[in-house]
Amino acid sequence: MLTLLTHRRLPCLGLFASAVTGILAADPYPKAWIGWAIACALLSVATLAWPSSFLALITCFSLFGFVHSEHLCSDPGWLLSIQPDLSKSEHDLTLIIQSEPSPDLYHGTQKFLAQVICIDKKSTNFLAATECGAQDLQYGDQLVTEGKLFGFKRILNPGEFDFGNYERRQNVFLSYRATHGSQIVSRNQGNRLVAAALAFRHRFAAILETGLQDDSEVAQTINGMILGARAETSTDLKRLFQETGTIHLFAASGLQVALFTGIWMKVIRRIGIARKWWSAGLIPIVIGYAAVTGFHSATVRACIMAIVFSVGISLERAASAINSLMVTGLVILLYDTQQLFQIGFQLSFSAVFAIVIAVRPLAHWLSRPFAIDPFLPRQLWTRVQIIRNGSVNQTCEIVSLSVICWCATAPVLLWHEHHFSTISILANVLVVPMASLVMTLAACALVGSALASWSVTYLNNTCWLITKIILLVLRELAAIPYHCLNAGALTVSNGELITALAEGKSHVIHIHLKNQDCLFNTGTTSQWRYVTLPYLQFEGINSLHNLLISTENKGRGVPLSEAQQDLNIRQVSTLSTRITSNQQSATESTVSDTKIMIPNFALIQSGQTPEELSLGFKGFIVDIGNFEVLITEELDWNLVKQIAGRQIDLAICFHLSKKTPKLAQFINELGIRAVVIDGAKAPSGARSLKADNVTWFYPERDGAVTASLEHGDLLIRSFTGPQTLLHNRSR
């Protein structure tokens, strides 16, 4: 089908598909590399003996399966990561810093990627995510230090960002924390090309910020668009570009490479360099830009494609865009098969593949209603018709490009982030032309700094004005209701459930009843961003009917303004666990709490007298089907007296009272059949209960615990551990 569309043979497409399939097949079983090697050798001999396209594809399949599995099994870091009890002992390490250190202000340390070259006086070679207390560190420093190696923690909640898997896909299988003093033994031990690229990067960033020191937001935006400086960009600015679907402007990808390549090609033509030398003049510029931006996947892909096209022009042989893209993919995967699992690689290749296939046909279809009569000779067109035709074609191309890119990247974003922008097409149509102009002016400023330094300020101020317009447009678009939506892989709109997330002492619980979503506590700011919000996105939740915040978590929770930016929150209620004379009266608290509109929800007060009410709320009971779930901060006798006579099926208890050592009496009094509790082991008193009587769940150990209805029964399952099924009992 693609051959018919492009009118060319696409041999590299099949090879790329075989390579991808081989990597995916080998990834779950890396220790089977010997089998892959034997299969690759036999198939290679068979292909040479009986040339066949099918055998060539199978050989490519086995080759990349072998390369991927052998790469993992030969990595000393991976071999160490699968050893038990790795973190119990300390090690003496010699390492070389491989990235620019970033300060951790909270812990007073520096974080960076390091290449470990010696461990306990034994030579080795692997990468580790390192945290070190030494100061004045820079790329290429060689350190001698003592500390502990750790494997990455597994995720404990649905949708939670898997930092460990992210690092593993970067070929980083261990983290290292220095526990004693670290000593710099030498400097400039890193790659000289990377060191030079970092120096140029800092110099370019300083040039682009000339005259913009008073507006850090605009300076960060310009640096992000030119240098891909996403790490130096503020969280709020990245959020704005993510929610409007324009974050690709910070990726230093095909847009930037194509723009700068086009500018340089025009310069080469003006100079009068012969066609056969064009690639020689272009390749150093392209490689230099890739180095300055950090050799990211999107940049490398665009640069390799630009090199292939320039070589084709120099050899006067037109290159197929799809074949060039597939060759680029094969080169990248042959160098590092882990690139396949990175979202940048997937977004880049899916977008470019769709652009090559569909942008021109869609643009032609969009421009047909505005086309000039084809029987009218072009020589007879008026100036107005020429201008209108050019404007229509450019507009249709921009719209087509935005639509195709959105359609190609939306599935990848939904798979990884469960989140997409509904205004992305409009935002890109309005912003990309202005961003291209900013990039052109910024490139002129970089060149002008060497020829006429006085011009830099004027060019940067022009960039400032255009960037301000870009930010204004994006903020107006972001103010549109539902400008971005969560679309979970597993929606919960038709089922009822309660989920206790594994967030330590933050005590975050999600309740979904009668098509309404309620959240009890939010977690800290970091937990909200990396655990709670990703979970809500994973479940496809775009609005909360109720947000309940306990006073114990109110002070350390995420700011309400940030939570309301991420989700539509209709009602916010504070539940006081203890009311003092400095706070509102107990009567006012009771009245306020009764206004919480949650179906099948009953709030439990501490008692009836003013003295008892002054203790605040004790918890609440939620009916899910014919089952009752108790959610409480503390399980004690006062609470048991309040709900005496009720049969509780599941109790979600954050901690037990030290004044009540007889836990078995609590369980028997309320008829509890399952308990979710803080900690990683059963508390004292639980051993007296029969194992088949009560099932215990520990979010700290087993991950988030979810209770949901399954054919009239209550299924309670943890994210990584056990599960149990409670049958309906007559009340």
Characterize 213-241 residue by residue with b for buried, 16 or more Cβ atoms within 10 angstroms of its Cβ, and e for exposed. Answer: eeeebbbbbbbbbbbbbbeebeeebbbbb
- Stretch 239-263: mean pLDDT: 82
- pLDDT tens digits, residue range 534-566? 999 998 898 898 888 876 666 677 788 888 888
% residues pLDDT > 90 (the chain): 21
pLDDT at 6 over 80: no
Report yes or no: 179 and 212 within 8 Å, Cβ to Cβ: no
Which residue type does 358 have? A
pLDDT band for 26, please (50, 70, 90 cuts): very high
Q: Residue 622 has what pLDDT?
A: 86
Q: Say how far apart CA 319 and CA 306 lie, in whole Å.
A: 11
Mean pLDDT of 347-368: 89
Task: Average the pLDDT over 293-312 and give the result.
Answer: 78
Residue 284: closest CA among 261, 314, 301, 262: 261
Of 264-278, 297-311, 590-604, the least confident? 590-604
CA distance 654 to 647: 20
Has residue 341 got a pLDDT over 60?
yes
Least confident of 71-75, 90-94, 199-203, 505-509: 505-509
Mean pLDDT on 215-243: 84
> Minimum mean pLDDT among 66-80, 259-273, 365-379, 430-444: which range?
259-273
Amino acid at the residue 298: A
Spatial contact of 329 and 336, defined as CB atoms under 8 Å apart: no
How would residue 684 be classed by pLDDT, with cut points 50, 70 and 90? low
pLDDT of residue 173: 93
The pLDDT of residue 639: 72
Whether the pLDDT of residue 7 is over 90: the answer is no
- Partners of 655 in beta bridges: 634
Query: How distant is the alpha carbon of residue 409 from its chain centre?
Result: 14
- Tell me the CA distances in angstroms from 15 to 6, 19, 46, 327, 477, one per residue in order: 18, 6, 17, 9, 42
Phi/psi of residue 86, nearest 5 degrees: -65, -40
pLDDT above 60 (res 492): no
* Residues with Cβ within 8 Å of residue 63, at least 6 apart in sequence: 19, 22, 40, 44
CA distance 687 to 689: 5
The per-residue pLDDT of the chain, averaged, comes to: 82
Exposed / middle / buried, residue 31 (Cβ in 10 Å: 0-12, 13-18, 19+): exposed
Higher pLDDT, 266 or 297: 266
Between residues 281 and 459, the one the model is more confident about? 459
Give the residue-averaged pLDDT of 626-633: 85
Averaged pLDDT, 76-87: 85
Residue (of 228, 299, 225, 224) closest to 261 by Cα position: 299
Which pairs from 527-530 meet CB under 8 Å and 24+ separation? 527/503, 527/558, 528/557, 528/558, 528/562, 528/563, 529/558, 530/160, 530/161
Residue 605 pLDDT class (50, 70, 90 cuts) = low
Residue type, 119: I
**pLDDT score of 589 more than 50:** no
Quick one: pLDDT at residue 594? 41
| Res 396 pLDDT > 60 | yes
Structural tokens at position 87? 């973190």
The residue that leads in pLDDT, 277 or 437, is: 437
Tell me the mean pLDDT in the region 662-684. 73
Give 677's strand partners: 653
d(CA 54, CA 479): 54
In three-state secondary structure terms, 718 is strand
pLDDT band at 612 (very low <50, low <70, confident <90, very high): very low
Q: Which of 6, 291, 681 is nearest to 299 (CA)?
A: 291
Burial of 246 (0-12, 13-18, 19+ CB in 10 A): buried
Asked if residue 613 has pLDDT above 50, the reply is no
pLDDT in tens, 151-185: 888 899 998 888 899 999 989 999 999 887 788 88
Whether the per-residue pLDDT at 496 is higher than 80: the answer is: yes
- At position 53, the amino acid (one-letter code) is S
pLDDT given at position 114: 92
| CA 708 to each of CA 492, 495, 715: distance values in angstroms, whole numbers, following the listed order | 10, 7, 5
Mean pLDDT of 27-53: 91
